[in-house]
Amino acid sequence: MADQQVFVEHGFDGDVHVLRIANPPVNTLRTEVRAGLLAGLQRATREGARAIVLIGTGRGFSAGAEMTEFGKPRKPPSLNEVFEAIEQSKVPVVAAIQGNALGGGLELALACHARVAGKGAVLGLPEVKRGFVPGAGGTQRLPRLIGMEALRLIVSGDPVGPEEAQRLGFVDAVLSGELEHAAMAWARAHSGDRFVLARNRTDRIKDYNAAAFDEAAKKLTARSRGQESPKGCVAAVRAAFTLPFEEGLNVEREQFTTLVQGEQSQALRHIFFGEREAQRVPDLPADAESLPVHKLVVIGGGTMGGGIAMSAANFGLPVTIVETTEEALQKGLARCEANWQRTVKSGRLSEADYAKRRALLSGTTDFEKAVGEADLVIEAVFENMAVKKEVFARLDKAARPGIVLASNTSTLSIDEIASATKRPELVIGMHFFSPANVMRLLENVRGAKTSAAAIATATEVGKRIGKLPVLVGNCDGFVGNRMTGKRGPQLEKLLLEGCLPQDIDRVMEGYGMAMGPLATGDLAGLDIGAAVRKARGTVAPIADAVVAAGRLGQKTSKGWYDYDAERRRSPSKEVEAIILDVAEKMQVRRRKIEDQEILERLLLPMVNEGARILEEGVAYRPIDIDVIFANGFGWPAFRGGPMFWADRMGLRTVRDKLAHYAATTGDANMQPAALIETLAASGGSFATMKGAAKG
């Protein structure tokens, strides 16, 4: 029943009514809520209200439309019907925004006669990040309230706080104290005011300048890398400046309908819901509790250790860096300070907030004392098993009983690391991604003896410091690094057979990757990959020859590419000569390789290895793999991840292409995995898998 979703309460003297959205946890605007709003408006008017306050229950106003209703027949009333009822109301409706007012939630507020907000409110139209445009008038009402600034907010999808919203002009007042009562008092005081609805405002759009709009749009979409929704947002917002309101709504609806049905939006929603799902560990007992963590200790103040420490301090968790020498410690602390100061200079961090974060970060060379006081220890030392085991043996002796010991290893066995301790049940991998203070992904790695308490603790701390924790199993490279490692042989073969580095990176960046694999190698340092190959006894003739020529990447201003003083890359004649020389010596006849073949030969090995990872139970679900790649490996979220990409291709086609490339390139890694064979034979997909593949 509608009345179970929206409750109507009288104000102080019955003259100000309250409509409260009660659809926990985030007050999405599902069918029952929309119907309840209409009923509530009618009741308030019927009972003689002088003003109506619209507010959400709990910590938020509304997170917007119920995305699970997308693609299904929509039951009346629509959001636009609700908005029309609000706009036609002879009684002013005031939106009182606490917590999140996002997407359709903000659009609801924009349709009201006025908007007030509490401290800490978050307002935004993030639809572009889900692959579509605001579809309930947001692209038309917001520009009429704030002018050109609306283009930035809608195309970026980034939210703003209440003070910024008031400055821009779409919040009328920021109120202190308990919001509901403050909003009721404000509504009563202003009930006789003449409000101009957003749809009827023209003062902020009348001076439209097409050239200025186009220039702003060009800058905002410059980094969209093939994503369609930013362009759709531009088209819809342009309509607000150039067309009457109703015609602008039609443009918005056309853009929304086209985009929401498209593959990119499906991919982005796949990742959005997947990020929630990935944090649910199927076999973790419901009563598993995390251990209390009030102080974190990070062993190692290098790039990774410092980044981990910054992440903790950024979110209010006291952290101590432990280093072996005072010189190394001061260098590590200075690196953290420099990173924060860059953020301050950019305007994204205030001096006051910097001071708070810096105060939470300390350092010491007294290993035993610091570890003895820690509630959680994360080791971030050199990626060498002997070194890791030595550190963990020492940690085991210094840490209090019951304290979780975590390793930031990116490839090494958690079980072997844990064997150096007498508490293997409390040892877990916490694999952060570089730069750790920026990257959101956290691969938590479960060892054979890792306890539910250790998993719960790593998960909780990860969330607490702003990360997206995904639990994976223990194997060489875990999920992400193991899968990307399997494209290495194809990279080498593509270079031998006809490609140049710029051909490969152009295709991958055209697909939407932030950087192609060879440019990424230059950024990381080609000597790192060479060391891994040497340790594993593998050979890559071209890559090894590039390193032998002293081309180690950006740090030497030459790697797969040449780099200028600003680290801008350009194709290298020397690298081209190396490739041609190696190909000639190996008697490989070079040919032109089409873009589609390049793409398939680099993505299919990762999909194939992902299937093996699922077979082994290293990843619980295909969505876990997609979430890992979208958040830690530069995979464009609007492509949905490797397993989503494979499903869109169709697993029968994937199987056949893998078999073809295995035969033509001699790469055994391309032989279709058993899981792909099984799913292809049954007409199934990764998305339709039930539970883990291991069984």
pLDDT tens string 146-188: 999 999 999 999 999 999 999 999 999 999 999 999 999 999 9
> What is the CATH topology of the domain spanning 595-682?
N-(1-d-carboxylethyl)-l-norvaline Dehydrogenase; domain 2 (1.10.1040)
For residue range 418-459, list pLDDT tens digits in order. 999 999 999 999 999 988 999 999 999 999 999 999 999 999
C-alpha neighbours within 13 Å on the C-beta side of residue 423: 20
Radius of gyration of the chain (CA): 28
Helices (H), 512-594: 517-524, 526-536, 541-548, 573-585
Average pLDDT over residues 475-501: 95
Q: 579, 493 in Cβ contact below 8 A?
A: no
CATH 1.10.1040.10 in the chain, residues?
595-682
Reply yes or no on whether the pLDDT at 72 is more than 80: no
Give the whole-angstrom CA distance, residue 613 versus residue 628.
13
Active site residue 337: no
Average pLDDT over residues 138-145: 98
> Rounded mean pLDDT of the chain?
93
Confidence bin at 281 (pLDDT 50/70/90): confident
Reply yes or no on whether the pLDDT at 412 is more than 50: yes
> What is the CATH topology of the domain spanning 499-585?
N-(1-d-carboxylethyl)-l-norvaline Dehydrogenase; domain 2 (1.10.1040)
Amino acid at 662: A
Which residue carries 């997609």 as its tokens? Answer: 626
pLDDT score, position 495:
98
pLDDT score, position 74:
75
Average pLDDT over residues 550-575: 95
CB contact set of 163 (below 8 Å; sequence gap of 6+): 174
Across-strand partners of 319?
296, 361
Burial class (CB in 10 A: 0-12, 13-18, 19+), 167: middle
pLDDT score, position 294:
97
Strand pairing of 114-118 and 427-432?
A: unpaired
Give the whole-angstrom CA distance, residue 248 versus residue 235.
10
H or E stretch covering 88? helix 79-88
pLDDT score, position 286:
83
> Could you say which of 9, 81, 127, 615 is catalytic?
127
pLDDT score, position 334:
97
Average pLDDT over residues 573-591: 97
Helix (H, G, I), strand (E, B) or coil at 670: helix
Distances (CA, A) of 136 to 78, 103, 105, 107: 9, 9, 10, 6
For residue range 290-343, list pLDDT tens digits in order. 999 999 999 999 999 999 999 999 999 999 999 999 999 999 999 999 999 999
Give every strand in the sheet of 114-118, ordered side by side: 6-10, 16-21, 51-56, 93-97, 114-118, 173-175
Give the whole-angstrom CA distance, residue 686 versus residue 622.
6
> What is the CATH topology of the domain spanning 2-191+199-260?
2-enoyl-CoA Hydratase; Chain A, domain 1 (3.90.226)
pLDDT score, position 2:
41
pLDDT score, position 185:
94
Torsion sign (Cα): 575, 576, 582, 588 = positive
Helices (H), 89-244: 104-110, 138-146, 149-156, 162-168, 179-189, 210-221, 229-242
pLDDT score, position 71:
67
Give the whole-angstrom CA distance, residue 312 versus residue 151.
34
pLDDT score, position 6:
56
CATH 3.40.50.720 in the chain, residues?
296-476
Confidence bin at 58 (pLDDT 50/70/90): confident
Average pLDDT over residues 358-375: 97
Long-range contacts of the stretch 525-533 (C-beta < 8 A, 24+): 525/552, 525/553, 525/554, 525/555, 526/551, 526/552, 526/553, 526/559, 526/560, 527/552, 527/553, 529/488
> Could you say which of 66, 69, 87, 107 is catalytic?
107
Percent of the chain past pLDDT 90, that is, above it, reads 85
Reply yes or no on whether the pLDDT at 14 is more than 70: yes
Strand pairing of 561-563 and 569-571?
A: antiparallel
For residue range 498-550, list pLDDT tens digits in order. 999 999 999 999 999 989 999 999 988 899 888 888 888 889 999 999 999 99
| Domain covering 296-476 in this structure, CATH number | 3.40.50.720
Reply yes or no on whether the pLDDT at 200 is more than 60: yes
CA dihedral 555, 556, 559, 563 (to 10 degrees): 90
Active site residue 497: no
Give the whole-angstrom CA distance, residue 79 versus residue 636.
31
Reply yes or no on whether the pLDDT at 10 is more than 70: no
Average pLDDT over residues 97-114: 97
